Amino acid sequence: MAALEEEFTLSAVPLGAGPDGLLGVEQCDKTDQFLITDSGRTVILYKVSDQKPLGSWSVKQGQVITCPAVCNFQTGEYIVVHDSKVLRLWTNEDVNLDKVFKATLSAEVYRIHSIPGTEPLVLFKEGAVRGLEALLAEPQQKIETVISDEEVIKWTKFFMVFRHPALIFITEKHGNYFAYVQKFNSSVLSKYTLLLGQEEKFVIQSFTASLDRKFISLLSLSSDGCIYETLIPIHPSDPEKNQQPRVVRSLLLKTVVSGNARNALSVLDQDHVAVLGPPLPASKECLSIWNTKFQTLQVSKELPQGTSGQLWYYGEHLFMLHGKILTVIPYKCEMSSLAGALGKLKHGQDSGTQTMPHFVNWETSQGYGLGSKDSEPSKRILRRRTIEPSVQPEVPASQQLLSTIKEDSEKHIEIELRKFLATKRAPDFHTVIGDIAIGLLGRCKTEPSFYPRNSLMQLIQMHVLSYSLCPGLMEVALEKTDVQMLQLCLQQFPDIPEAVTCACLKMFLSIGDDNLQEIDVNMESVSDYSDAVQDEKMEEQMGILQNGFNPEEDNCDNCDKELSKKPQKTIEETTSCPVIPKRAALLNAVLHSAYSESFLLPHLKDIPAQHITLFLQYLYFLYLKCNENATMTLPGIHPPTLNQIMDWICLLLDANFTVVVMIPEAKSLLLSLYKFVKSQICICSELNKIEVSFRELKKLNQEKNNRELYSIEVLELF
């Protein structure tokens, strides 16, 4: 049964709806978003479920929008025409319509049509049709005249017929109506004369059309209040014949509205139409849903404040102007059946089980927002991108790109890749990206001079690659000592083998400071560690914290002494970071990466001793920094955690203990580390004691409540 749900309004921004209502409501490339063009100067992008506008654009004072804004589903751009001839293209990021891409055409535009899956079409007032891309390539091209003089386009609609676009438009001349069907796979324009039957004297108020296998079913609402159906063949029987075929319309529904008002009509599905208009001459305007199969009125809703006689239907929403306010009425219809019509069909699910929330498909929604972030390529590239798939739609874009990768220059590959990434994502996007990366790496191996660094970086930043999807990538980066790429890989890949992690670590430790200075490294994990003021505070803290344990037990007296002999050195070690910030950032990337201990240990043994010492110094430094605050965290965005630091200290010591013990410069480091850890353990043991007493207290409390086998309690119900 068809049902109208509770209406809601989109009125956050007052619409400058003129006496003729709105220019149009059009779908957007994102579901639930609609472009609404008023008859003045403004286009508003609404998110319907949130009932709020996402963006609003206006043309300059003095200019008038003449055709509703549409969305190009292939590029995500919006297109509008003002002053009949000026085409504007813009995206969500643009603020001012004056500054966006502009093309002035040679003829007046009637409408632009855009539906998903094909490029937008521009219909001119003289009946000529052009694809948007072809038009933009040569805006001033000559536009032929198709319809005769005094013939005026009344209504138009754009369809996909078996994956081929087709356009129908209705013209009127001296009370006679003509239908034109333009097909683009064969570029055939067929013209039909609409025979109105006996009721010649009535004017047609509204049209709507739907596809019915081999026919376009054109419904028209006449001023006598009846709905008529006209079947227009999609494939004309014999196009050679010059004689104009005629199509007859037949009565579908009788007197659904009273005439003489501004009525509107829209097909909802095979069996349902929505009609806007007063059911009786004197009554208020109504939105009614009719079942054409059973000739019954399914549901009706009164709109007391009047409408503009316009009705749009997309997905599950009916849009109309109610008074001055744009109103959305969600509409739902289940398959109509006789049982349903008679009310015997069990009505849906019970309300308790909501059928709404589908589970998120993590694979596709991952990193969804990135597409827009990466769309910094200029307008021109956006323009060019769409031409290619329309030329050869059979070959998938990824295949094209792979063949480009085999031959073209780095620069060209980069451009092509950027174009590819900006398009819509297929469900197997990550495997496609993996294939592209492997293609690039394959060429790297055969051609030593070829290293498409930017393209690879771009691929990694798509957040979908993993080590196993492009196995050779990090090896190549290691070969080229590309630390920036390695850092990115370490941050992005969840599955790096320990041998590679270790090789990265080795490189990060061995690369010279002056080399590092020139390289651009992501520094967000490193914050400014060089605040010497806090150090004294920390020393104090340590003194206080040590209160918990008994100094007699401390059998580290001698090392204390040893340490106190050269206090200046230890202080130096603890206060300043032993590595430059860029190296710190790289090491942090290693700290963040996942690993399995038993696989990592053998590789750690291969690192030279002085590098081990350096890394240990750095880890010790981080450890001290961690202990400066109560939450045991480091400042900055995404810093290494205490656990990561501790694990790595343990790992390094486990792997290289004998080596580290032998190096004189590591000795003092180890001693101070030992002393610090010992003091920490003492604190922890004290904390443990406190925790145990608290736990006991809690248990005692619980036992009182719960352990009794039988009790009588008082309970008050409110």
Partner 1 sequence: MGEFKVHRVRFFNYVPSGIRCVAYNNQSNRLAVSRTDGTVEIYNLSANYFQEKFFPGHESRATEALCWAKGQRLFSAGLNGEIIEYDLQALDIKYSVDAFGGPIWSIAANPSGSQLLVGCEDGSVKLFQINPDKIQFERNFDRQKSRILSLSWHPSGTHIAAGSIDYISVFDVKSGSAVHKMLVDRQYMGVSKRKCIIWGVAFLSDGTVISVDSAGKVQFWDSATGTLVKTHLVANADVQSIAVSDQEDSFVVGTAEGTIFHFQLVSVTSTSSEKQWVRTKPFQHHTHDVRTVAHSPTALISGGTDTHLVIRPLMEKVEVKNYDAALRKITFPHRRLISCSKKRQLLLFQFSHHLDLWRLGSTVATGKHGDTLPLSKDADHLLQLKTKGPENIICSCVSPCGSWIAYSTASQFFLRRLNYEHDNLSLQRVSKMPAFLRSAVQIMFSEDSTKLFVASNQGSLHILRLLEGSFKHLHTFQAQSGTVESMCLLAISPDGNWLAASGTSAGVHVYSVKRLKLHCTVPAYNFPVTALAIAPKTNNLVIAHSDQQIFEYSIPDKQYTEWSRAIQKQGFHHHWLQRDTPITHIGFHPKRPAHILLHDAYMFCIIDKSLPLPNDKTLLYNPLPPTNESDVIRRRTAHAFKISKKYKPLLFMDLLDERTLVAVERPLDDIIAQLPPPIKKKKFGT
Binding site for partner 1 (CB under 8 A): 350-359, 428, 431, 434-435, 706, 708-718
117 Rama sector, left if φ>0, alpha if ψ -120 to 50, beta otherwise: left
Annotate 586-601 with DSSP letters as a single string: HHHHHHHS---HHHHH
Angle between helices 429-446 and 453-460 (to 10 degrees): 160
Rounded to whole angstroms, the Cα distance separating 183 from 160 reads 10
Rounded to whole angstroms, the Cα distance separating 133 from 213 reads 29
Q: Which is nearer to partner 1, 162 or 359 (CB)?
A: 359
CB 363 within 8 A of CB 427: yes
Rounded to a whole number of angstroms, the minimum distance from the CB of residue 349 to partner 1 is 9
Residues with Cβ within 8 Å of 374's Cβ and at least 6 positions away in sequence, in order, are 418, 421, 422, 458, 461
Residue with tokens 């001079």: 449
DSSP annotation of 547: G
Q: Which is nearer to partner 1, 344 or 358 (CB)?
A: 358
CB burial string 257-286: b at 16+ within 10 A, e below: bbbebbbbbbbbeebbbbbbbbbeeeeebb
Rounded to a whole number of angstroms, the minimum distance from the CB of residue 496 to partner 1 is 20
Rounded to a whole number of angstroms, the minimum distance from the CB of residue 699 to partner 1 is 13
Q: Which is nearer to partner 1, 320 or 432 (CB)?
A: 432
Handedness of CA 687, 693, 699, 704 (dihedral sign): negative
CB 638 within 8 A of CB 631: no
Rounded to a whole number of angstroms, the minimum distance from the CB of residue 470 to partner 1 is 12
32 Rama sector, left if φ>0, alpha if ψ -120 to 50, beta otherwise: left
CB 112 within 8 A of CB 125: no
Rounded to whole angstroms, the Cα distance separating 26 from 73 reads 12
Rounded to whole angstroms, the Cα distance separating 154 from 173 reads 10
CB 511 within 8 A of CB 549: no
Q: Which is nearer to partner 1, 8 or 202 (CB)?
A: 8
**Adjacent-strand bridge partners of 635:** none
Rounded to a whole number of angstroms, the minimum distance from the CB of residue 231 to partner 1 is 38
> Of 108, 200, 119, whose CA–CA distance to 147 is shortest?
108
Q: Which is nearer to partner 1, 550 or 706 (CB)?
A: 706
- 367 phi and psi angles, rounded to 5 deg: 55, 40
**Count of residues for the chain?**
718
Rounded to a whole number of angstroms, the minimum distance from the CB of residue 606 to partner 1 is 27
Which 3 state secondary structure label does DSSP give 260? coil
Tell how far CA 388 is from the center of its chain: 23
Q: Which is nearer to partner 1, 318 or 433 (CB)?
A: 433
Rounded to a whole number of angstroms, the minimum distance from the CB of residue 370 to partner 1 is 21
Q: Which amino acid is at 330?
A: P
Rounded to a whole number of angstroms, the minimum distance from the CB of residue 181 to partner 1 is 40
Rounded to a whole number of angstroms, the minimum distance from the CB of residue 709 to partner 1 is 4
> Of 294, 295, 303, whose CA–CA distance to 324 is shortest?
303
Rounded to a whole number of angstroms, the minimum distance from the CB of residue 469 to partner 1 is 9
Rounded to a whole number of angstroms, the minimum distance from the CB of residue 423 to partner 1 is 19
Q: Which is nearer to partner 1, 104 or 702 (CB)?
A: 702
CB 105 within 8 A of CB 117: no
Q: Which is nearer to partner 1, 162 or 718 (CB)?
A: 718
Rounded to a whole number of angstroms, the minimum distance from the CB of residue 430 to partner 1 is 9
Structure tokens at 362: 């993590």
CB 464 within 8 A of CB 496: no
Rounded to a whole number of angstroms, the minimum distance from the CB of residue 717 to partner 1 is 4
Rounded to whole angstroms, the Cα distance separating 423 from 384 reads 12
Rounded to a whole number of angstroms, the minimum distance from the CB of residue 433 to partner 1 is 11
Rounded to a whole number of angstroms, the minimum distance from the CB of residue 595 to partner 1 is 17
Show the CA angle centred on residue 311, arms to residues 82 and 122, nearest 5°. 35
Q: Which is nearer to partner 1, 6 or 200 (CB)?
A: 6
* Burial class for 140, CB neighbours closer than 10 Å (0-12, 13-18, 19+): exposed
CB 180 within 8 A of CB 191: yes
